[in-house]
A and B are shown apart, each in its own frame.
Chain A
Amino acid sequence: MAEPIIIETADLRKRYDGVEALAGLSFAVPRGSICGLLGRNGAGKTTTIKVLLGMARPTSGKASVFGLAADGRETSVDIRRRTAFVSEEKDLYDTMTVGEIVRFTARFYPHWRRDLEEEYLSKFELPADASIKKLSRGMRTKLALLLALCSGAELLILDEPTSGLDPAATEEVLKALVSHVARQEMTVFLSSHQIAEVDQVADRVVIIDRGRTLVHGALDDLRGSYRRLRLVFDGAAPELNVRAPGIVNVRRQGRVLTMLASEGVDRIIEEARALKPASVDVLPVTLKEIFLETVASEDEHALV
């Protein structure tokens, strides 16, 4: 049986002062998944999160979390009661100490996990009497993550959680996240432009660009359906219709024609054989390749 949908957007649009930040975004995140929202800077990731959390109102389209409208005044509070959020800036209250913000935040969440609070304070080596103002970027991130993980929320939304962290701190934060999710039943929606980070922790991915969904689905399905086809010809490689269904992009380089196919690989191979190549290789692709080439393809379409 399919898991119920936790986050759903349909033709979601958001316009700020004449700029279309979201231009018809549609995707769904099922319960229990770790979904990575991938996109370049300015692709609309943070705007998507702000709409889901009721911080920004959509211009049109639908956004719902737990089946509740994200733009309703009452429903938005209900959504946030069941959702924890870590912002990119980790802009916590500088006037409080670690202990104060933990006590402050605990009051808002009916299922606050006191046991995890103690565990993470110790694990992240966060002194309760330390002023937040004096915490390093890494320590602030850990504190923000602690507040989110202890909230007992069903959904965790993270906006560029490792932004500004060194590799060691990034690894520590991601490990803590994965270990937590493995123990607790929760859905994670993680925005990032770090492909390796998403590849490491996510089981689903949504790739967006210019406020539109380019690719979304389970990572295993994407890895299974996306293939790179390399056709080597005896002479110069022929022209190929780049708009053919299933072909994300095509590169010609001398005698070699390289294609990224998102679906119908067998059909595309059959069609390619009609071009009489000397050899056809079918290669697996990484998430990084899927991301970079779908975004590059979008750039080419935008130029056409």
Chain B
Amino acid sequence: MLWYRSWLDTRWRFLIGFALLLFSACGTVVAYVELGNLLSTLDTPAIEGSGTLGAAIGEAIEEAIELQRTYRGFVWSQWFDKNLTFLGTFFAALLGSGSPFSGAGRGLLFSLALPVSRGRWLGARAGTGLAELLVLAVIPSLAIPLLSPLIGEHYSVGDAVVHGAYLFVVAAMFFSLALLLSTVFNDVWRPLLLTCLVAMGLSLGELALRADGLFTLMSAEAYFRGGSLPWVGLLISVALTAALLYAAAAQVARRDF
């Protein structure tokens, strides 16, 4: 029953996220038809920039165009590396915002008076949110291999599952951070805003340093390019998620209401 209560709390956020991601995944498949027509009329332009930065930008543009020439590259760059990463991070933060003990007027004292430990409440909330996040990460991605034959293309179900799973594992960190912040703040919005700010900071840092980081891991770029699975990054993500959830449980256990 605790799961049901958590589901009632988060169902609209989940359903809106699911609809948006599904729409976005379907849109990616449809967009390839239009892009394919456009690319077939173009030769790869030689882009040369001046200076180090200019050269880097030129390389990036060339690479982006190259990626669009194959269906697998297009799907990865448009869906797994951009839309899913962006929307997945946002909805992870949104699903994690608001613990069972956030805010008066939502049955807070009623919940606290039931013969259930705070840890079990938080566990049910975390479990429900993570299950919803897993669905958001994997199911819309599976729409791509399902719809691809309609445009005469093929996309591997295995690839969709691997990319979705990577997004889930890394986005779970943002979910856990939002949940931890929700045990400190009494509203939904501050944890959401702070988590999004952290995610934006990390993303900008990755771009500025041109280094592999959380978002590279989230898009499973290593798997896309070389077929290898970055187990270390995965394990670090799981450990960080566990640590954040533990901190949330400890914070809730010592809190006065």
Contacts and interface: CB of A to CB of B under 8 A. Distances in A.
A113 interface: no
A187 B105 CA distance: 28
Interface in B101-139: 104-110, 112-117
Nearest to B107: A93
B253 interface: yes
Contacts of B108: 91
A73 interface: yes
B231 interface: no
B187 interface: no
B115 A80 contact: yes
Given A91-B104, A95-B8, A104-B5, A73 B117 contact: yes
Interface string A14-53: 0010000000000000000000000000000000001001
B109 A91 contact: yes
Contact of B112 (A55, A57, A84, A109): A55
Given A50-B257, A93-B5, A95-B9, A55 B109 contact: yes
A85 B109 CA distance: 9
Contact of A91 (B110, B117, B253): B110
B1 interface: yes
Contact of A77 (B104, B110, B115, B256): B115
Interface string B233-257: 0000000000000000000011011
Contacts of B114: 80, 105, 108
B253 A55 contact: no
Contacts of A95: 8-9
Contacts, number: 67
A285 interface: no
Q: Contact residue range for chain A?
A: 20 to 34
Interface string A82-95: 01110101011111
A81 interface: yes
A243 interface: no
A80 B113 CA distance: 6
Contacts of B23: none
Residue in B105, B108, B110 with the greatest tally of chain A CB atoms within 10 Å: B110
A107 interface: yes
A53 B113 contact: yes
B1 A107 contact: yes
Contacts of B189: none
Contacts of A107: 1
Interface in B1-30: 1, 4-5, 8-9
A57 B1 contact: no
A89 B115 contact: no
Contacts of A50: 256-257
Contact of B106 (A55, A73, A91, A108): A91
A80 to B, nearest CB: 4
B256 A108 contact: no
Contacts of B106: 91, 93-94
Residue in A53, A81, A87, A94 with the greatest tally of chain B CB atoms within 10 Å: A87
Contact of A57 (B113, B117, B256): B256
Given A55-B113, A80-B113, 18 more contacts: A16-B256, A55-B112, A55-B256, A73-B253, A77-B115, A80-B114, A81-B115, A83-B113, A84-B113, A91-B106, A91-B108, A92-B110, A93-B5, A93-B8, A93-B106, A93-B107, A93-B110, A109-B115
Q: Which 7 A-B pairs have the closest CB atoms?
A: A81-B115, A85-B113, A87-B109, A80-B115, A56-B256, A93-B107, A95-B8
Interface of B: 1, 4-5, 8-9, 104-110, 112-117, 253-254, 256-257
6 contacts: A77-B115, A80-B114, A87-B110, A89-B104, A91-B106, A105-B114
